[in-house]
Amino acid sequence: MEILELGIGTGENFKHFPKGSNVTILDKTDIFFPYLNESIKKNNRQDLNVSKLVVSKAEEMVGIESDSMDVVVHTFILCSVYDYKKVMSEIYRVLKPGGVCIFIEHSIDFRKKSKKYIQRIIGPIITDCSFFNMEKVLSSGPYDHLELKMYHINTFWMTMVNPIIYGYGLKNID
């Protein structure tokens, strides 16, 4: 299985990938690349083949061929890109027909005015993240089928990034 992960972070998603997967990692910086082997060992995932490390903006996906990925995974990255529409278009481009994009993203909280204000004004300063209506963003994407769910993580540290939107988008087989 060919998997593309956007924004590797600490490699926490490795534990969820199917055994023997070929993983391509795309990140806007190579700052986390030195920790990949450590993450693979920590998650006991020596069966994964990290086949390609790409330093590129998600809007461009330089070096990733069209229709080449079975799965694209992104976790909390759309808030930190310049053009989320272009990112979603690129994801769709690199997915094979029948491929799936699996995501977890945070959204602006419309339930509480004070929190919405903090997320919009102070959030980018503290978290390097711009908050917006992620449900609307993901629903406007190119997917042929989309499933979205929302939840809240009720811990002090996660208050800033709630609510969380998760789900998947499919590219139809032509």
Can you give the pTM of this predicted structure? 0.85
Task: Tell me the pLDDT tens digit for each residue of 120-165.
Answer: 666 555 556 666 667 777 888 899 999 999 887 676 666 666 677 8
CB atoms under 10 Å from CB of 14, counted, come to 21
pLDDT band at 104 (very low <50, low <70, confident <90, very high): confident
Q: According to the model, what pLDDT value does residue 5 have?
A: 96
In the chain, the domains with their CATH numbers are 2-170 (3.40.50.150)
Q: According to the model, what pLDDT value does residue 34 have?
A: 84
Question: Pick the residue with more confidence: 33 or 123?
Answer: 33
- Residue from 64, 55, 5 nearest 27 by CA: 55
Residue with tokens 């032509």: 174
- Residue from 45, 46, 44, 49 nearest 24 by CA: 49
User: Parallel, antiparallel, or unpaired: how do β-strands 2-6 and 69-75 relate?
Assistant: parallel
Calculate ∠ Cα 10-16-19, nearest 5°: 115
